[in-house]
Amino acid sequence: MDPATSGPPPPLRRAERLDPSVFQLPADRMRAGYYSDKYFVRTREVLMAEGEAPLVTVQAFQRNLAWVSGTDEAIAILKLCLTEGYSFDDLDVRALRDGDRVDPWEPVLEIRGPYPAFAHLETLYLGVLARRTMIATNTRRVVEAAWPDPILFFPARHDHWMVQTGDGFAAHTAGAIGVSTDAQASWWGSEGVGTVPHGLIAAFGRDTVAATQAFARHMPDHVRVISLVDFDNDCVGTSLAVARALGDRLFGVRLDTSGNLVDRSVQSQMGEFDPRGVNTRLVENVRKALDAEGFDHVRIVASGGFDADKIRRFKNAGVPVDAYGVGSTLIRGRYDFTADVVRLGDRDVAKTGRRYRDSTRLEGPLSGRGGEARGDGREAGGRGGEGEARGDGREAGGRGGEGEARGDGMVGWVVDVQNDFMRPDGRLYVKHLGDEGDQGAVQIEGTIAEAVAWMHEQADVVVFTGDWHGLEDPEIDPVDPDPSIGTYPPHCMGRSEDPDEQQGAWIVPSIRPEDPLVLEVDADAAEGKAVARAALESGRPVFIRKTRFDVFAGNAATEAFVATLAEALGDPEFVVVGVARDVCVTQAVDGLAGRGRHVTALRDATWGLGLESEDDTLTRWSASGRVATLEERRAEER
């Protein structure tokens, strides 16, 4: 089987869980509540003062597609830090394994037992799961993007030293082949790896060759010599100089050019690509130069601003990188965990919008007796009573429930209301291209904001779509853009390394969704289905990032996402607003209607570029769906 097409092996899944001693927990302070949110400590105090020990079931989950890590550490906290007088055998603990892929809302950890035993530990085990899952998920995404080229885990300098051990283990579980510190490698008995750093080169008077020679002289033979070659902003010249000096002892060169610089070898080739930082042309220049002098054994390691999207672009372009060093992008993102008391004894008591979720994937019980009632010996369940019915008659679990058919369902669909399109100083402000007097899309932002506020009140799900471009996207032409053939200057550059460019891709502040579920540009059908289900259950908005005007062509997950919504909501109405009317909005309306969906386009909440007359567009939309104003649609009874 070709490893380049078969994909990486699954994340590591150890046969035995890590022993609690590995984590070196400050158990006494954890047991005392020193690191816990005060309200959990006081919850324990109240229950114990009342002589109550209700038998509860707690489930922990998060809201994204993810690869979980931190389960062994969370279990260690439960084993070592319970309230005095309780032991781990008093609990029934079940958990997934580090490396397991999880869906939004899927239980990762379930604890059943007397609540005073472990109420004070929620802050701790949730924090561990959130941190380690973030690292594992981010690492897994770059591992899959780079495969079969290896990933080196390099974020240590960007974060507090105390997180290194667990972060390194999470990255190792997810498939990183090397970490940069011994602490990061300690939980599986290895050591850190590294290259000749800029600091050593500076200490040798800016002489990369001398620094690398000294490194090679004093490192044992098993240490691979990899030299940073961007110190003088001449990666080709420095690579050749180091290779000539070290010969076979040189294992590789590392390109780490700053995103604010253009390497010397690239300067004469500028014009049709972004020449800053480590780019495809720079890597190709170094590879050609090394091969031309017979140094084809020298590997190329690329680092500096790499994430899954950038790595994927390099892979798709066939760029000759042998390994990727990834740093700060691996410690970004939100994989927040929540824990709910979902049962009191055998009775459901979850708060509105939550429920007990049965899972056959959880391993356990991992303890002995499994949660006998303690304290006053009350019947398991204690106080609390039966779960109350919701006022609207639906089960707790969010708008619409899981798979609940609702023939009157509605989906709000907000197209590309982004800074670059909606701001007069945006990089592709939407206004009539043939009318100098047109004030453009800013005129309808208020109407769009009203429409989105109404959608949040009335719709089962509100979906935002947005261009999320990189320079390699087919609709981006920085040299000779021509809207008549579907090419445009760079805009909505969500995959850019430049923060100023990235801001152009953000949804405008007046309607920017809070804590949305995100379908990234590389999402697949499984992710589309899972995000749709999670949105229906949680009521959270969704942001679909796309690489083309047509959201169905620009994000492969959209098809499954829409189909899942339609099945769950019983053929809902899709209400569409946004810009540009004659490009992305038309693609959305036609794409939804062409798939048999009921579409209502709000004509006073769209604006166009003048590529097609407004009358022609609205006539065409009316033939496949219907057109109304916001006020007309709001006046209708659902």
Neighbours of 55 (CB within 10 A): 24
Give 384's pLDDT tier (boundaries 50, 70, 90). very low
- CATH number for 410-635: choose from 3.40.50.1470, 3.30.70.1880, 3.90.1860.10, 3.40.50.850: 3.40.50.850
Q: What is the pTM of this model?
A: 0.65
User: Do 464 and 514 meet the contact criterion of CB atoms below 8 Å apart?
Assistant: no
- What does the pLDDT look like over 309-360, one tens digit per residue? 899 999 989 999 999 999 998 998 888 999 999 999 999 999 988 899 999 9
Q: What span, in angstroms and rounded, lies between the C-alpha atoms of 159 and 114?
A: 37
Q: What span, in angstroms and rounded, lies between the C-alpha atoms of 441 and 430?
A: 6
- What does the pLDDT look like over 153-193, one tens digit per residue? 999 989 999 999 999 999 999 999 899 999 999 998 889 99
Give 484's pLDDT tier (boundaries 50, 70, 90). confident
Give the pLDDT score at 49: 96
Q: Which helix (H) or strand (E) holds 397?
A: none
- What does the pLDDT look like over 5-20, one tens digit per residue? 567 889 988 888 999 9
* pLDDT at position 261 over 70: yes
In Å, how far are 308, 414, 548, 604 from 531, measured between CA atoms?
A: 20, 17, 20, 30
CATH architecture label of 137-331: Alpha-Beta Barrel (3.20)
Highest mean pLDDT among 404-408, 498-502, 620-624: 620-624
Give the pLDDT score at 390: 29
In sequence order, the 6+-apart residues with CB closer than 8 A to the CB of 333 are: 134, 137, 138
Give the pLDDT score at 408: 66
- What does the pLDDT look like over 82-136, one tens digit per residue? 999 999 999 999 999 999 999 888 999 999 999 999 999 999 999 999 999 999 9
Give the pLDDT score at 172: 94
* Through-space distance between the first and last CA atoms of the chain, rounded to whole angstroms: 55
- Across 516-524, average pLDDT: 93
Neighbours of 248 (CB within 10 A): 9
Give 4's pLDDT tier (boundaries 50, 70, 90). low
Residue type, 125: Y
Give the pLDDT score at 395: 34
User: Do 581 and 608 meet the contact criterion of CB atoms below 8 Å apart?
Assistant: yes
* pLDDT at position 379 over 80: no
- Across 449-474, average pLDDT: 94
The 3-state DSSP class for residue 465 equals strand
User: 């009203």: which residue's tokens?
Assistant: 450
* pLDDT at position 391 over 50: no
Q: What span, in angstroms and rounded, lies between the C-alpha atoms of 49 and 568?
A: 47
Residue type, 384: G
Give the pLDDT score at 122: 97
Give the pLDDT score at 2: 52
- Across 532-547, average pLDDT: 94
How far does Cα 166 stand from its chain's mean position? 20
CA-based nearest residue to 475, from 384, 399, 551: 551
* pLDDT at position 389 over 60: no
User: Do 584 and 430 meet the contact criterion of CB atoms below 8 Å apart?
Assistant: no
* pLDDT at position 288 over 80: yes
Question: How does strand 461-467 pair with strand 410-415?
Answer: parallel
Look over the chain and give the mean of its residue pLDDT values, rounded to a whole number: 89
Q: Is the bond preceding 580 in cis, omega lying within 30 degrees of 0? A: yes
CA-based nearest residue to 413, from 606, 583, 174, 621: 606
Give the pLDDT score at 488: 86
Q: What span, in angstroms and rounded, lies between the C-alpha atoms of 355 and 614?
A: 48
Domain ranges of the chain: 14-136+336-397, 137-331, 410-635
Question: How does strand 250-255 pair with strand 225-228?
Answer: parallel
* pLDDT at position 474 over 90: no
Give the pLDDT score at 24: 95
CATH architecture label of 14-136+336-397: Alpha-Beta Complex (3.90)
User: Do 258 and 228 meet the contact criterion of CB atoms below 8 Å apart?
Assistant: no
* pLDDT at position 392 over 90: no
Give 147's pLDDT tier (boundaries 50, 70, 90). very high
Residue type, 17: R
Mean pLDDT lowest among 206-215, 249-258, 333-342, 374-383: 374-383
Give the pLDDT score at 637: 56
Alpha helices in 147-197 (DSSP H): 164-174, 182-185
